[in-house]
Chains A and B, each alone.
Chain A
Amino acid sequence: MVCLPLNRGLLTPAEIKMKKTTLLALAGLSAASLLQAEQLDVEKDSLKFGFIKLTDCAPIVIAKEKGFFEAEGLSVEVIAQPNWKQLLDNVITGELDGAHMLSGQPIAATIGFGTKAHIVTPYTLDLNGNGITVSNEIWEGMQENDEKLQSDTPPHPITADSLKPIVDAAKDSGKKLPMGMVFPVSTHNYEIRYWLAAANINPGMYTSTDLKGFTGGDIELSTTPPPQMPATLESGKNVAYCVGEPWNQQAVAKGIGVPVVTNYDIWKNNPEKVFGVTKEWADENPNTLIAVTKALIKAGKWLDASEDGKLINREEACRILSQKNYVGADFDIIKNSMTGYFYFQKTDKREMPDFNVFFKYKASYPYYSDGVWFLTQMRRWGQITEPKPAEWYAETAKSVYLPDVYMKAAKMLIAEGSLTADEVPADDFDGYKPATSDFIDGISYDGKKPLEYLKSHKIGNKE
């Protein structure tokens, strides 16, 4: 049975026949289950994907652990990366084939804010999943400013209105409250800015000379790596932060802070992470990219599978993610946020079935309108230093998001029977979500009208 290394390579037909009979007899029924997948002729079958230790890397991890990559004939290694910058660099240098990325990252890299490289994405990994946590002290202050918050289960959503007097008081005494976010082009940065600005707190602007984004701010918002967030809160280096899970739940578990709002409340079902590869890689390995997308779609669907409104696979997913080579945080803590619940305080456990959306609501499709939203935020806060025409927004989004690849993968899955047509957008869909005003401040967003959207905000660049 053992193939000697010397005569590897193509088997002769006679050999195949001989082996087939023995092998089939041995493998028995189980072989049949593999037959349904139509394998693509992939250009590269051994891949390395990078991820950051956050629960929203789940589709990549699940696709590996549940054998979805394998079913496409791919042998995948997933490797934890120390930070977003290194992750992006590793993708650009080719050390990694693809990676779990912040939604803003492919866009920023493509337009050259930070490291310049053309990155594309065929798949949105998840929606929502972030939260803003404030320190106990700030929480007490907010409670004093707003009677309604003086309860174990205060009414949601909590706006930053009750935070404003604290910010003003600190500013009057010559101090800008320090706050943390994950990365300059991360969703977290835009979300905490949005939340603050909605309550008339200026989070500071980026300019061509101020790459930290402090200019004119009422507070100072700076970059902190996610794992350090709770520590900075405890030490007073930050009084609030916006980060993904499990770092908000960890603050609750350790009793050092209170999550006040999730990004679901800031913008309902906002895109969070994407799967990114370089344009070059995508051009060289078109079939591999489709195969990878297929596996990711299957993983996303598996993660969101539910019965009677209960997510049936999440517990298993949490157990896998809690392995030390993946997210590695305690099972309980990951479970807190991924099984449809969220602890705002130890006494305040709420059902949040949509806190982590991986697939439902056609979430994993790469929408152009999402790309445009990030571009508007980059412009709003000055990361894009000059006004741009509306067409530029559309073109840039189109050069980064690859719905075609997604749809090809989806069609194959539909043909294989592992997906139904109503789970993905229709063929003639133009990639723009309909206009929505599901934001904490109720302002409406239409991806086709970026310039109007910019004008509708009080704080930030208006054109």
Chain B
Amino acid sequence: MSYLEIDNASVSFGPVSNRTHVLSDINLSVKENEFIAVIGFSGAGKSTLMSLLAGLQVPTTGEVRMNGKLIKEPGPDLGMMFQNYSLLPWLTVNENIRLAVKTVFPKLSKKEITEKIGHYVDMVKLSHAGDKLPHELSGGMRQRASLARTLSLDPKVLLLDEPLSALDALTRSELQDQILNIWESDKRTVVMITNDVDEAVLMADRIVPLTMGPKATLAEPYLVEMERPRERQTLNDHPQFKRLKSEITNYMMGISKDSRETRDDITPMPDIRPKDFSLPSAGIRLKNKVSQPTSAA
């Protein structure tokens, strides 16, 4: 039985005459304690999808349910970790978490609150920086603080909205490991949005591609059946990893190409290539510049 469920949801904005359809026919069901990765291009509507799950936005049509109950408004059960940290900049890391804990668990004593804060700060390895203000921290540390705050709400579902996309590669892999560790030691349902195929394959149980907008929808999911814990060092040689990676990459390139071809209202860019840097295939060009097709508009 699915724990978190999106049923035929669509989201559109604007007046009837000039309506922008962001998402349409979204169907997703997540099992309890499952780790789902949604992969898609920037601007495809990933964040909107996340808002639907978090209850920050109500679908225009269709329904979003958790545990069979309709999600109408946000709440601590749906622990959302925002793309740009959204730590309150006037509060220190500890104070940020304290605000969350105090609000969600108003009955806790002062001591218990402090303990809880300590626990989560420890969990993300930020104990040394608990009294620092967000602007004094690096991007990775901020993201960890944000994670600690989200975890401190003790949410039933963890919603991670591109949590790592703003970080450099090293910090990114370190945090990936941390998130995985936390998840494995304290299982819960996770929906993560990402634009990195490697990351998705490394972390998720299931990967759901989001097609290009407008009218973006979820495509057939890919099951990742590699055993856990997954070793980063050996993963690159894992046959399933290689297969999934290439399949998903190809699929993603395919939809991006489709979308470019179907949108003939856009003046095509002249297909000029630099003389001396001829490329082996169109695929690499697209992979390196993921957002290229839409940004041409």
Touch between chains A and B, by CB atoms below 8 Å: no
List chain A positions with a Cβ less than 8 A from chain B: none
List chain B positions with a Cβ less than 8 A from chain A: none
